[in-house]
């Protein structure tokens, strides 16, 4: 009988230990997921398809040419310098954060904006950039490609 209770106690201890580990892993996974959510609490915007990317830009009132100006893989450096810290400040202001993607390759989609105030529709001086990782939009900007141009987040009125 003594051996049976010892085995039972070991079994219970093992099961409790497994339960505690499962709870800790669940808490860690939820915290990691929450940490990667945009600051505004919205779920990640989808950007896997052309339609999803154009709809995302349209929600801010931007009209863009359907064909992108360029599509390329870029590498987000593991350590941010001044340029990436400044760019990430723009991302943080609009609910994104590039730090979780440091050291990874992402896809950069660039579209010509056709309705930016003060610019003619035929000019391609203003561009919308979307950074996409695994079909999710993780950041981007609206910028002028002119000398001494500008760069800001997607929401024109917020700038």
The answer to whether 136 and 46 have CB atoms below 8 angstroms apart is: yes
pLDDT digits (tens, 9 = 90+) for 95-110: 999 999 999 999 999 9
Query: What CA dihedral angle connects 35, 39, 43 and 45, to 10 degrees?
Result: -120
Choose among 159, 92, 87: nearest CA to 129. Answer: 87
Residue pLDDT, tens place only, 55-85: 999 999 999 999 999 999 999 999 999 999 9
Pick 27 or 52 by higher pLDDT.
52
CA distance 159 to 21: 46
């Amino acid at each position: 009988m003594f051996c049976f209770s010892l085995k039972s106690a070991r079994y219970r201890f093992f099961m409790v230990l497994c339960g505690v580990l499962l709870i800790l892993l669940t808490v860690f996974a939820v915290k990691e997921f929450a940490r990667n959510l945009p600051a505004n609490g919205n779920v990640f915007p989808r950007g896997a398809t052309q339609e999803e990317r154009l709809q995302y830009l349209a929600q801010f009132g931007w009209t863009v040419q359907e064909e992108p100006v360029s599509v390329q893989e870029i590498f987000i450096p593991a350590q941010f310098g001044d340029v990436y810290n400044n760019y990430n400040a723009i991302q943080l202001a609009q609910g994104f954060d590039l730090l979780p993607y440091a050291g990874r390759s992402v896809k950069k989609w660039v579209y010509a904006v056709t309705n930016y105030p003060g610019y003619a529709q035929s000019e391609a001086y203003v561009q919308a950039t979307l950074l996409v990782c695994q079909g999710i939009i993780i950041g981007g900007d609206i910028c002028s490609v002119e000398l001494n141009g500008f760069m800001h987040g997607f929401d024109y009125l917020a700038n």
